[in-house]
Amino acid sequence: MYWFDPMYLLFIGPAVLLGFVAQMMVRSAYASARQQPSRLSGVAAARHVLDSAGLQEIGIEMIPGQLSDHYDPRHKVLRLSQDVYNGRNLAAVGIAAHEAGHAIQDARHYAPLVVRNLAVPVAGFGSQIGGLLLVVGLIMSAMGHAWQPFGQTIFGLGVILFGTVVVFQVVNLPVEFDASARAKAQLVSLGIVDGHDMGPVRRVLRAAALTYVAATLQAILTLAYYVWRMQQQSDR
């Protein structure tokens, strides 16, 4: 089939493998940390971290799903999954504190977060429209020599737009790493978790960070494949 290109699998294979390993690590670390009790529930830990940073106005809501936790900068609210919201274990407080770390970043105007928030709509547009242009470009290039120049141009525009996804993923890495660093520091300094009990929390946050690394690597390698494919078309 024209659409199946084994080279694509070769390009993104390392990222897919890393993503699989990261997901396995997340599940293992999360399951283990859930067995370790904590002094506070996830919502109480998040509230304590936020209040200690002077962010009493930030709300906390419970949402459905597992590991669907996130901070919404538009509405200034932490949204925690039911297990994290109610959980009195190290997994719950670690994840809740991580999301509270994003709220602190937002309040402190942490530069990478500001850039990431600005990049979200651009990356969304680049992912959708860029993907469409890539497909259209391939179809036009396959229609014959007369259509190839137009197909290559459209494909090139698709590659450029997809590049915004890579920029977003790269900018997102320091945001996630910093939120985890803030979470670990706050959990210890506020006495929510004793220093010698931080091992399970660190493993959960480290495994979660690896999933972002894998996503970034996949975006970079996918872009590299598109650039290679564009070069192949130019050489024909």
- Whole-model pTM: value is 0.87
Q: What is the pLDDT of residues 112-170, one digit of tens each?
A: 999 999 999 999 998 889 888 988 887 887 777 777 778 888 988 999 999 999 999 99
SS (H, E, C) 124-137: HHHHHHHHHHHHHH
**Which parts of the chain sit beneath pLDDT 50?**
1-2
**Per-residue tokens: 4:** 């199946």
Task: Mark whether 99 is an active-site residue.
Answer: yes
pLDDT value, residue 190: 96
**Domain boundary assignment for the chain:** 6-235
pLDDT value, residue 234: 64
pLDDT value, residue 134: 85
- Rounded Cα gap, residues 215 and 76, in angstroms: 26
pLDDT value, residue 139: 80
In angstroms, how far is CA 236 from the centroid of its own chain? Answer: 37
Q: 3-class DSSP state for residue 206?
A: helix
Return the number of other C-beta atoms located less than 10 Å from residue 85's C-beta.
Answer: 22
pLDDT value, residue 2: 43
- Distances from the Cα of 219 to the Cα of 29, 157, 230, angstroms: 25, 17, 16
Q: Are 107 and 55 in contact (CB under 8 A)?
A: yes
Return the number of other C-beta atoms located less than 10 Å from residue 75's C-beta.
Answer: 10
